[in-house]
Each structure stands twice: as structure tokens, then as C-alpha cells.
Amino acid sequence: MGIRSISTQPFSDQKPGTSGLRKKVSVFQEPRYLENFVQSIFDSIAAPQGATLVLGGDGRYYNREAIQIILKMAAANGFGKVLVGRGGILSTPAASCVIRKYQTFGGIILSASHNPGGPDGDFGIKYNSSNGGPATETVTEAIFAKSKAIQAYRMLDAGDVPLDALGESTLGDMTVQVIDPVTDYAELMQSLFDFSAIHNLLAGGFRIKFDAMHAVNGPYAKEILEHRLGAPAGSVINGLPLPDFGGGHPDPNLTYAHELVEIMYGTDAPDFGAASDGDGDRNMILGQRFFVTPSDSLALLAANATLVPGYKNGLAGIARSMPTSAAADRVAQALNIPCYETPTGWKFFGNLMDAGKVTLCGEESFGTGSNHVREKDGLWAVLFWLNILAARRHPVESIVREHWTRFGRNFYSRYDYEGLPTEAAQGVMQHLKDSFATLTGAQFGKYAVKLCDDFSYTDPVDGSVSNGQGVRIIFTDGSRIIFRLSGTGTEGATLRIYLEAFEADTARHQLDAQVALAELIQIALQISELKQRTGRNQPTVIT
Ligand code: G1P
Ligand code: ZN
């Protein structure tokens, strides 16, 4: 078996986005496309000879083929060992867990998260460092730079490696160890949460439904919720992972997780409902006929953390992405711990966690997690909620309402305009930036603009600066409108508008969020000229 150096030409579009490189499957299937990017990773990370790598993906279409290519390239690039999830499967949080537990040099995760899969869907790849977290911007920039100059990639001439049974095989000088994708992760969860309290809750008739959306978390949820915690069979629905997610859009929100939503808003609804996404790092939490916004969920987990064994000594701090509501800030203030505001994307939380500055992190985009791994973690959030419910024995809705009574309610909503022509979307952003001077101090109904800017973040740990992270319009009462272009889409541009208004008056907490935010929505449309510039009258998705 020989190692070949195969000459190639660069592609110009391999810039990693919010979470790795995401493209249509057909793009990744183009000759040399995947190979170029993988070699650019290996050329950037300078792994020592014989280093160990973790490899796995969410099982979407093209996962298996990509795994075989990457294994042969890893062998040709001097890795000593690769730990692969059986069948090439690892959820994103499980991959992070395995990198940390076995102290590997890093890992490669194959996923396009919540984007649809199948031959016409999306595929993605990202590199995670030895802390288990997504590579920092410094590393992703280096990978992009390499991808623009690449001349050759290295590949071992070898047959495919069997991946469906646990055990070891060799590929040239490299060992491929197929590991159970669930065990290490399940053990980590058991070390954090009070499984016997949750078991008792479920045994007492508390009914749950978990929608795995035919994505990677099905086997994880069945093992943990049904086998270890004793939830009745059938508590996990759509639990069989499929390469095209059963034709669905594996994004756990009120629009795409409609099967679960119908159950949770129907007659005889269970007490608790949850869903996770394609690669298992996102979560949605529902009570009986009640939706918990991800921003509220983060705040609530923080406020109740000491009820959970893994967090009984309290939190070092909290971090949230900039567009996420400030509900968590209020809890941090009450707990007298710091709260950090980072740009969108989990990669910005890693340094804060590594430095011991924060314990919990979250994003409005259905992502919550902690320093147990360096990714957001869907099932972890579900177990955290179940642990709180087991300790407090109140319904989900009353726990949230009580939280609002204590801290006030941050009304929150996000409007997504997907598939816009790129120029029109960029035109909206540019127009907003050009309007900063006239907007500052302007009055719109009851709202006066206090400041507008394009968010910039200086990492408090390594001092790196990330500019251009989203337009913020902040009002004197703390209400906010944020505009951002998505960094994960693969078709045209997606413009996101994030709306937030704080309400201290408990009597007004009953309001529907869309009603409470109606005025801000109108202001957002007016100042952005979105309808005129894009021709869109309605968002594609409201969360
Ligand atoms: C989206 C979310 C962001 C999240 C990312 C990866 O990125 O908004 O919070 O970290 O997916 O799951 P965006 O498409 O907005 O760049
Ligand atoms: Zn995801």
C-alpha cells in the first residue's frame, strides 16, 4: 500500500462559515473538493507524527464515502490512530466528548447540522481541536488560506475499512478503532445528572416525548431516555437515523418539528416534549401546550443549576451569543457571576470555557451547553430540564412563568428570510450601516435609538478581534433589533432579524410574543427597507 501525492488545483470557495464548511452534497462530490479541504486542515493543524484523531458524522447522505476518504488521507498524513464511531456515526456533542475523554489531538466532524440531507441536500465538515471544540477563527482562517494555495493532497492506496463492527483494523501504519458512538457520551451524562431522580419522575407517570427527527440522536435518546432512565418505549419518536432524515428538515423548532408540536399541543399532551437536530447539538423544549424560547431556557438552566449534581457548586459564569436575549444576563446579575456576549457560533465559547470563565453557554438558535464538552448539546439540555423537573415537580409552564415573575420577561423572536438574492441581502445590511448616523437618537413611537453599531468582539482570553458580527440597533429601554446574514446557508443569502423587548410588568407576561414585539417588527422593516429591497413580504421562518 503506497502513499500517493496527488496534484490538485485550489477551489476558491472553501471558507469555513459559522460552523465549518457547508455546501451542497453535489459540491462535495466533485472530484478533489473534499480532499482539498481535508488536506488544508491537515496542513494547518501541524499534528505530530502518530497523533490520534476522532472521526464521525451525523450519518447524512455521503457520510460513509467521506469517512473512507478521510481515513485514507489521515493514514497518508502520518496519523497513528483514528477513533471512528460505528458506521461512521458520532453526534457532534459525542465527538467532542470522545476528543476530550481520550485526549486526542483533535477531530473531524461531518455534518451540516440542521440543514436538510440526501443527494440534493447539504453536507459539511469541520475540524475540532484538542479541547473538543470547533477550531478557533485563527485556525479556520489558516485552513481557508491553505485551501486557496493547495497544490497536492496525500492519500493512501487502500481498500475501504470495515466500520460496522467494534474493534481495530489497520490502514497502512495507522490503526482504525471503531468505537460505540453512544457509550462514552451516555456515561458522561450519567456523571452530571441525577439519573435516579429522573427515573423516579418517569416511573411516577410523568410522560415525555423526544423527537429525534430521524437524525443522529435517535440511538442516544433511546439508550439514555428509554433504557437507562426507564421512559416507556415509544417515548422517542422518529428514532431511526436516515441519510435524508426521512425527507424532513432536521431543525428542532416550531415549524420543522411539527409532529412533536402537534402532540404537545394536542389533547392528552405529555408533560414534557423535546427535539434535537441533524447532528444532535440543538434542542427545543416544550411543556404541555407551551414553548420555551431557547434564550429563556438558557436563563432558566442557569437559575436552577444548583439543583443538578454536576453543577451543584454553582456556575463560574454564563456566555451567550450577541443576538441571544439578555434573559441570561439578568440571572448572572442575580447570581453575581459574569455574563459574556460573544459573536454568533459556538467556536467563540471555547476559550471562555477553557479559561474557566464560564460554565453555561447558549444561543437563541436552539443551542445550549456547558463546559462538560465544547459543543452545544441537545440531549444534555433535555436531561438538565428533566433533572430540574424531577427536583421541582412543577409543570414546565409554571417553572417558566415563575422565572419571569422573578426576573422579568425578555420577549423574543427571530425572523428568517431565507434564499434571498445575495446582492439584495447585502444591500439591506449596507443600507443599515449607512443609516447609523441618522438612526442614532431617532424616535420611533415609544422607542428611542440609543446606539447602533456593527458588533465587534475582542476575545478576553487571546485578544483576537472579530469584526462585522451583526448590526445592532439598541433602544434606550434595552430593547434591541439585530440584523445578521447567516453563515451556514448554502443557497443565496439568509437574513436574520432578531427582536427583543424587556417587560418587567407581570400582568403583561401573558402577551403573545408576536403581539408584544409588533411595534419593533414594524420599526425593523421600516429602517431596513427590507420589503422594497428584497421583494419579500413575509419571513420564511419565525422562531
Ligand atoms: C446558525 C445559528 C447560530 C449557530 C449556527 C450553527 O448560524 O444562527 O447561532 O451557532 O447556526 O448551529 P447562522 O446561520 O446564523 O450563521
Ligand atoms: Zn447542529
CATH of 3-181, one of 3.20.20.70, 3.40.120.10, 3.30.390.30, 3.40.50.300: 3.40.120.10
- Would you identify the CATH topology of the domain 185-407? Alpha-D-Glucose-1,6-Bisphosphate; Chain A, domain 3 (3.40.120)
pLDDT confidence of 1, banded at 50, 70, 90? low
pLDDT of 183 > 80? The answer is yes
Please state the domain extents for the chain. 3-181, 185-407, 409-542
Q: Is the CB of 486 under 6 A from ligand 1?
A: yes
Considering every ligand atom shown, identify the ligand nearest to the alpha carbon of residue 250 and give its number: 2
pLDDT of 318 > 70? The answer is yes
Cell 429602517 belongs to: 527
Digit-coded pLDDT (tens) for 29-52:
999 999 999 999 999 999 999 999
Supply the DSSP string of 396-412, one letter for each residue: HHHHHHHHHHHH-EEEE
Q: Is the CB of 62 under 6 A from ligand 1?
A: no
DSSP letter, residue 508: G
pLDDT of 338 > 90? The answer is yes
Mean pLDDT of the region 333-339: 98
φ and ψ of 512, to 5 deg:
-70, 140
pLDDT of 455 > 90? The answer is yes
Q: Is the CB of 363 under 6 A from ligand 1?
A: yes
d(CA 507, CA 483): 30
In this chain, the answer to whether the domains covering 3-181 and 185-407 adopt an identical fold is yes
Q: According to the model, what pLDDT value does residue 436 have?
A: 96
d(CA 45, CA 329): 36
Ligand 1 atom closest to Cα of residue 282: 12
pLDDT of 80 > 80? The answer is yes
Q: Quote the ligand 2 centre to 378 CA distance (angstroms).
A: 9
DSSP letter, residue 20: B
Digit-coded pLDDT (tens) for 491-542:
789 999 999 999 999 999 999 999 999 999 999 999 999 999 999 999 999 9
When mean pLDDT is compared across 27-36, 301-310, 425-434, 486-495, the lowest value belongs to: 486-495
pLDDT of 490 > 80? The answer is no
Q: What does CATH list as the number for 409-542?
A: 3.30.310.50
Can 321 be counted among the known catalytic residues?
no
pLDDT confidence of 488, banded at 50, 70, 90? confident
What does pTM read for this prediction? 0.94
Digit-coded pLDDT (tens) for 237-262:
999 999 999 999 999 999 899 999 99
Q: Indicate the average pLDDT of the chain.
A: 96
pLDDT of 418 > 70? The answer is yes
Digit-coded pLDDT (tens) for 98-153:
999 999 999 999 999 999 999 999 999 999 999 999 998 889 999 999 999 999 99
Mean pLDDT of the region 163-181: 97
d(CA 257, CA 413): 17
d(CA 81, CA 99): 12
Q: According to the model, what pLDDT value does residue 137 have?
A: 86
Q: Quote the ligand 1 centre to 178 CA distance (angstroms).
A: 30
Instruction: Tally the residues of the chain.
Output: 543
